[in-house]
Structure 1
Amino acid sequence: MEIHAVNTTVPTWLRQLLPLVLLLLACGLYRATRASTDSDALADLAELPAAPHLVVPRYDLPVVATDEQLQEILTRMRPLSTKINTNVLVHALRMWGPHVEFADPRFLDGPTMLAYFLDDAAFRQLAGVQTPPLFEKTASGVAARAWQADSPHRDTAAVHVDDLLATLAESSVPLTHPMRLRDGDAQVADLLRGALARFHRRQHEYEWTAIAYARYLYPAAPWRNQYGEPLDVAQLVDELLEQPLPNGVCHGTHRLEALVVLAAIDEQVGGLSPWSRRKITRHLGAVAQQLVAAQHLDGYWTRSWVVGQPPSADDESSLYDRILLTGHHLEWLALAPPEVLPPRDVLARAGQWLARALLEADDATLEQHYGPFTHAARALCLWRGREPHQVFAWPQSTPAKGDVPSTTLTSSN
């Protein structure tokens, strides 16, 4: 019997492919290990600040808005208890804070608004018992229900990525605060953990993620997202700076807000490199100069601010656009360092135009555009060195949020 040897020769194509397969498997295992061990920037809550970083008003400039104007405006901007809309409520909470009391059942007070976002029972009481939950647990943390145009429950969804989280940070809600969800208990830390895990540099909206990171974690160490990508504050700064000016929510103004919040917190705790700090300052100063050139004689700004030109004689921008742009710009400028501010007369013209516009708008317009208009009302208060709830309580209120005094704008610019 003739015995034939078995051919054990490995084909050439397989020998050539095998190293690549092994390399890919090793890389996948490495990324999975790194993602599971290094992605959690909140692994030890004990090492993080007990409360979010405060960013307080810097200036008190009465020519921007008078006490009387502010009181009238704020009286008109109280949140109606009949308008249950998540985007409206997150703007109202951000403007008024979690402690304001109106002593009038027609309006939602601060504790009620805060409970809407932290306790599903309170959410269902306002939004309806059949409404899907606003938050749910995921593999990476807690996520908000995103707005979808074809959803019958879109009015109670989150319109922007991580804006609910950023508003909790602005409301001084600590990471350890409980969240009573429909599918179990969690903490605000789980909401932040999920946001950081999902964040990536190709994200369409990232402004509120940056604000939440700055207020809750800065200057924490770099982290890895759920895709295994390493991320740090320098990358956040570059993302905020490198995009064209009009890119982003509300015509790019929330990117400017994120930059001034990060810069203000860096003044308190450090962490940015001198080069990153200079880049932020130069960028904000350049934008302020464009605003000087783009301001209408009446004081407002339109979408033409991005090219540094005032509106044309036949400008047909809507009142909504003018209030939105002027309010958002005055809001971030109120938190910006003095070396980047435009001249005082530019601020005064913008503030007085904005105050008159908010007072002259009819009730239907205020209700329809409540969210964006809260930025305008808050901006005017910040230029008087106080948050809106403190202005509303004058003269008993203390200067600035968190009992941190504001400074008077004494520069001549």
Structure 2
Amino acid sequence: MPARSTTRLAFLAVQVLVVGAFAATWVTKAKALSREFRALQQNGSEYTRLPVTRNEPLEVSSLYNRPDFISDEELADVLRQIQPRFPVKEMKPNFVEHALRTWGVHAEFRDPEVRSGAELAKFLTDTASFVTSWGPGVGPLLQERTGGIAIRWGSEKGGSVHHDHWLASLTEAGATLDTPVFGPSRHSSTLGDVLHESLRDFRLDEKETEWTAMAFGMWLPPENHWIGADGRRYSFDLIARRLMRGQKELGVCSGTHRVFSLMVLVRLDDEFPNILTDEVRAEVYGYLQEVKEAIMASQFEDGHWPSNWPDGADAVTTPVDDPLFKQVIATGHHLEWLAIAPKDLHPPEEQIRKAFRWVIDTTRSQTPEEILERYTFFSHVGAAAARWRQTHPAVFWKEWEAKH
């Protein structure tokens, strides 16, 4: 081939790469600009701050203490596996959020390689801490808006993976509403400003509302509704129906997160009877009874639940080729919501016992590298295990370390 033709082909190849890189950058920037434009449209709109009467979040506690399901030694083994041993460089917000919701903001560890609750919370709430981990080349996790602080979420590098997961995780971790939040240039914000920005920004057609339901539910009661930036009246009834819409398996983590969120709303309605109307509460309870029937029929002989658990008995007779982590997701998440559910929503106790046997043995068998790779999923195993002993992971671990 003549040298000139070879040079021309090389030049064209470089041009294709340049154009491709430009297109990818443009798409990323366009998404960010779209979000920013929507936020600008909302500022100064009809949204007014709903008075939040508490500084500490509500808590939905476990209903059971079952050492026959999981012993102290087994709980200690599981919690040892899911200690947040995260490298300082490029800590993943999603991992940190899961660790916080499990261990809480006050968690402390003897091992200096394990991140304390205070360290984890600072990473999420202080832009300087985030930049120390990720460097200045990655966009900030905290995004300043005229009316509050938004969280960068999605598949972008260094972002929180799920909508409102940052807010729900810090809320479950016990962070107070006056917790300082330091944006890139604004140092006077609090967790309350993030909550109100989320209330302002809420849309019923959001892809994910699982964590919105939990975050709002733990702050807003006894209020059961608010007015969004679009002037629309939103309520926990609307969120509950949004969660129940669509095929069960297609929700986040094989549809198990929406089950937990719906159970949280029912428990909150027990405490604040106007959170859900009687009609919607009945719908939610019926949905949860369907989930109970599905997991009764879809559990495998070894005790695990598959990702297609909503298929009931068909999930066992025509099994899908689930990787291990998907089995951990389904089993750990189901055990977690069952810990806060009344007994009439439980499968037979022997099924719960078998599920624990499988998930404990599976978690114990993982190497540190395997746990770190799938930390978010195994963290739910630890949370479920502690709930079924009516204890908090940080409290139990501190006492265990003192005795051992």
TM category (shorter chain) comes to: 0.7 to 0.9
Rounded to whole Å, the distance in 2 between the matches of 1:381 and 1:158 is 25
Greater relative contact order (CA < 8 Å, ≥ 6 in sequence) = 1
Query: What is the aligned counterpart of 1:78 among 57, 69, 83?
Result: 83
SS in 1 for 2:309: helix
* Residues 348 and 181 of structure 1, relative CA distance in 2, 3 Å threshold: same
Shift of 1:227: 2.3
In structure 2, what is the equivalent of residue 241 of structure 1?
Answer: 244
Alignment partner of 1:124 is 2:131:
yes
What's the TM-score once normalised by structure 2's chain length? 0.83
Q: Structure 2, unaligned stretches of length 5 or more?
A: 1-40
| Contact 1:40 1:223 survives alignment (8 Å) | no
2:8 alignment partner in structure 1: none
Q: Which residue of 1 aligns with 2:235?
A: 232
Whole-angstrom distance in 2 between the partners of 1:268 and 1:183: 40
Structure 1 segments of 4 or more deviating over 4 A?
none
Partner residue of 1:40? 48
Deviation at 1:41, TM superposition (A): 4.5
Q: Given residue 389 of structure 2, which amino acid in structure 1 is its aligned partner?
A: R
Once the two structures are superposed, what CA deviation does each residue of 1:87-126 show, in whole Å capped at 9, x if it has no partner? 1111111111111111222110111111112222232333
Superposed displacement of residue 164, structure 1: 0.3
Q: Which amino acid aligns with 2:79?
A: L
Structure ID, larger Rg: 1
Q: 2-side partners of 1:311 and 1:63: how far apart?
A: 27
* In 2, Cα distance between equivalents of 1:51 and 1:276: 27
Cα distance in 2 for partners of 1:148, 1:340 equals: 35
Report what 1:291 is aligned to. Answer: 295
Partners of 1:81 and 1:283 lie apart in 2 by 38
Seen in structure 2, the aligned counterparts of structure 1 residues 204 and 277 have a Cα distance that, compared at 3 Å, is same
| Alpha-carbon distance change, 237 to 41 in structure 1, aligned in 2, over 3 angstroms | farther
* Of 209, 214, 217, the match for 1:214: 217
Q: Which has the higher helix share?
A: 2
Q: Give the SS at the match of 2:45.
A: helix
Mapped to 1, the partners of 2:49 and 2:239 lie a distance apart of 15
- Shift in Å at residue 51 of structure 1? 1.4
Question: Cα RMSD between the aligned structures?
Answer: 2.3
Give yes or no for contact 1:41–1:222 (8 Å, CA) kept in 2: no
Deviations 1:300-346 (A, max 9, x none): 01022111124347653211111111001111111112221111111
* Counterpart residue number, 1:3: none
Which one of 149, 164, 168 corresponds to residue 142 of structure 1?
149
Match of 1:173 in 2: 175
* Superposition deviation, residue 237 in structure 1: 1.4
The aligned residue for residue 369 of structure 1 is 374
Q: Deviations over 1:188-247 (max 9, x none)?
A: 111111112221121111111111110111231522222222211211111122332113
Partner of 2:58: 53
Q: Which runs of 5+ in 1 are unaligned?
A: 1-31, 398-413
- 1:314–1:161 Cα change, 3 Å: closer
Taking only the aligned residue pairs, the percentage that are identical comes to 29
Please state how far the C-alpha of 1:395 moved relative to its aligned partner. 5.7
Aligned to 2:35: none
- The 10-residue stretch of structure 1 (157-166 or 257-266) with the greater mean CA deviation from structure 2: 257-266
Q: Does 1:386 align with 2:394?
A: no
Change (3 A) 1:41 1:258: farther
> What is the CA distance between 1:393 and its match in structure 2?
2.7
1:138 maps to a residue whose letter is R
**Pairs aligned (count):** 357
**Equivalent pair of 1:64/1:350 in contact (CA under 8 Å):** no
* Aligned partners of 1:140 and 1:194 also within 8 Å: yes
Of 326, 335, 343, the residue aligned with 1:330 is 335
Question: Residues 41 and 221 of structure 1 are in contact (CA less than 8 Å); yes or no, is this contact kept in structure 2?
Answer: no
Letter aligned with residue 115 of structure 1: K
| 1:109 aligned partner | 116
